[in-house]
């Protein structure tokens, strides 16, 4: 905090109060900075490349969805002061009475941007990227077998999974937020249509298959989503893209769900083992449950044969 106060003083940023808001899975931190009557969000990220991308994408996305305005750009000090979406975060306001409304608002934002031609240069979510992420499961979650055997199992899995991904990459290629979950979405009830869902934490965006963010939303590691909500949201999305074959979409959706849950299990295990961030461990049972649910489909039996023993052997956290 002292270093942050020093940087703000050096930049001649006046404020009345500074209080910690949240950290996340990255070294990024958020604070509330009170400036007269305004309570803005102060984001600290010492990775200037991340800040550059966040600034670039904020400028691009503002015409399509609700993103926070940049009040002060102090990127050379690793600081941005942003518009505050206030206490409207999905994870804090979701209830049985508003779930459908909130999930539809989040899907409306995806539908709108998925219909747009992407005219900026972003990296593509290719197979290499996907494998790099799912390999985190073997590297960090699987810890009860020796390295040689682990690598052999990982290679066997990747050879099989590679074939499943072929159909996924036949899906429309769209803007991917990449972390489209309840902690990064805000309900802005005073806005209209697809602008009702506010986005944060989109600096890792890529171009990729249209199922990705929908999976993140409806098979969320952080909160239980009822099956009926998940099914309704998929139908709601597909009504706007009736040229997409439903069976191909559902297959691709499940493949990406398996990939993402493996990635998340690896990341949450790494956060505990390497970064001493134990609070993510509470979500691991939910992620395993979601992974098992997708693996139970008959079409994924070859993957299930590889992964089920690892889940049983290694989960004792």
For the record, the structure tokens of 301 come out as 């039996």
Q: How far apart are CA 147 and CA 125, in angstroms?
A: 28
pLDDT for position 91: 95
pLDDT for position 25: 64
Q: What parts of the chain have a pLDDT lower than 50?
A: 317
Q: Would you list the domain boundaries of the chain? A: 2-82, 90-314
Domain boundaries 90-314, CATH class: alpha beta
pLDDT for position 3: 82
Q: Taking the domain 2-82, which CATH number applies? A: 3.30.200.20
pLDDT for position 24: 66
């Amino acid at each position: 905090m002292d270093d942050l106060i020093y940087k703000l003083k050096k930049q001649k940023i006046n404020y009345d109060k500074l209080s910690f808001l949240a950290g996340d899975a990255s070294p990024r931190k958020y604070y509330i900075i009170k400036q007269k009557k305004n309570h803005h969000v102060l984001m600290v990220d010492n990775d200037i490349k991340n800040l550059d991308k966040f600034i670039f994408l904020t400028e691009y996305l503002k015409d399509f969805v609700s993103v926070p305005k940049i009040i002060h750009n102090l990127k050379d000090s690793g600081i941005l002061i942003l518009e505050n979406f206030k206490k409207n975060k999905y994870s804090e306001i979701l209830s049985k009475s508003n779930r459908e409304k909130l999930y539809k608002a989040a899907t409306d934002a995806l539908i709108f941007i998925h219909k747009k031609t992407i005219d900026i240069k972003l990296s593509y979510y290719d197979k290499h990227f996907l494998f790099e992420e799912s390999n985190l499961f073997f590297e960090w979650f699987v810890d009860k077998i020796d390295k040689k055997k682990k690598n052999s199992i990982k290679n066997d899995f990747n050879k099989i999974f590679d074939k499943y991904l072929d159909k996924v990459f036949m899906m429309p290629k769209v803007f991917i937020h990449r972390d489209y979950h309840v902690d990064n979405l805000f309900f802005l009830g005073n806005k209209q249509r697809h602008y009702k869902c506010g986005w944060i934490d989109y600096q890792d965006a890529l171009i990729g298959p249209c199922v990705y963010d929908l999976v993140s939303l409806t098979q969320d590691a952080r909160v239980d989503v009822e099956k009926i909500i998940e099914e309704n949201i998929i139908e709601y999305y597909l009504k706007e893209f009736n040229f997409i074959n439903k069976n191909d979409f559902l297959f691709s959706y499940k493949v990406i769900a398996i990939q993402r849950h493996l990635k998340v299990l690896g990341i949450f295990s790494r956060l505990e083992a390497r970064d001493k961030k134990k609070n993510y461990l509470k979500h691991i049972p939910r992620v395993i449950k979601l992974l098992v649910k997708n693996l139970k489909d008959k079409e994924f039996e070859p993957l299930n044969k590889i992964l089920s023993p690892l889940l049983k052997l290694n989960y004792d956290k």
